[in-house]
Structure 1
Amino acid sequence: MNKEIESVEYFFHNEVPDLLQNLAAETKPVWGLMTPQHMLEHLIVTFKMSIGRIKIPVVSAEEDFPRLKAYLMKDSPMRRSVPSPTGKNELQPLRSANLDEAKTKLVKETESFLSYMKANPDAVADHPFGGPMTANEWIYFHRKHFKHHFIQFGLIPDYE
């Protein structure tokens, strides 16, 4: 396994659980409508999408996939308040009983994804904007996506 993948895995195994300890139900977002629990449940859904357990239609044109994938995997800031690919921009109903349960579920989904990725390195699942993405492509996207939402809730500083 290459050093960059190891670095991303370290982020998920070590940094994410520590950062989640600083997230409280009353934490206000810097932008957007999500509550902390909505954000965690959104990240859970994205993990499920990346291993094919949830399917969301691809909304981008195939000729745009290379450019969009490059953006999705690059460790750089994401645009804020991106519209949902499903067209549903309102908050979704909460699925967990509370924030602590959502944190536990997110850590579990993170581990499930990392295990799946190692066991299925050639697996491909559709990203609604980037099209078909491999397990390695998804792991880079997840890091970018987590950082985006962790910045949103002040858990990490914005990119310099």
Structure 2
Amino acid sequence: MKNVFNQVDAETLIRRINNLRPETKQLWGKMSVAQMLAHLNVTYEMVYEEKHPRPNAFVKFILRKLVKNKVVNETPFKQNGRTAPQFIINNDKDFETEKSRLISYIQKTQQLGQSHFEGQESHSFGPLTSREWNNMFYKHLDHHLKQFGV
């Protein structure tokens, strides 16, 4: 799996994002390209902002037991998989705003680097290794960029 903490890999992701256009159509699923970018931004909002409520201890326990491994392993996500409610984007989003935000988040993550994320507490899963953080970030980005053909 590619590494979001590696500058070359981060730049490759950004190039793929820059190949998107407001009129780019999805190959599967229901989100528009702007909604997809906003959807991807949710992951980073959970890391860098206090925008989303944290799950209580019971829900976090369930997420760790039932969801964590699927999110942090290296197995790609399946098409049309289920997502958590906070990741569902139903309203229209501004393509350029969401694109700019996502690129900034990717750059920030790469610049903070692997050591910053080692043992860092996840919003939903508790402490993760830097490898688990990378897998979560990269495979989510890659999955949705493939969804839109880039």
Q: What TM-score does the superposition give when structure 1 sets the normalisation length?
A: 0.71
Q: 1:28 Cα shift?
A: 0.9
Q: 1:62 Cα shift?
A: 2.3
- Paired amino acid for 2:46: M
- Paired amino acid for 2:14: P
Q: In the aligned structure 2, how far is the partner of 1:88 from the partner of 1:141?
A: 14
Q: Which runs of 5+ in 2 are unaligned?
A: none
Q: Map 1:1-160 onto structure 2 (within 5 A).
A: 7-10=3-6, 12-51=9-48, 53-58=50-55, 62=61, 65-66=64-65, 68-86=67-85, 89=88, 91-94=90-93, 96=94, 99-116=95-112, 118-119=115-116, 121-127=118-124, 131-134=125-128, 136=130, 137-155=132-150
Aligned length: 145
**Structure 1 vs Structure 2: percent identity of aligned residues?**
20
RMSD: 3.0
More relative contact order, 1 or 2 (CA 8 Å, 6+ apart): 2
Q: Which runs of 5+ in 1 are unaligned?
A: 156-160
Q: What TM-score does the superposition give when structure 2 sets the normalisation length?
A: 0.75
Q: In the aligned structure 1, how far is the partner of 2:13 from the partner of 2:148?
A: 13
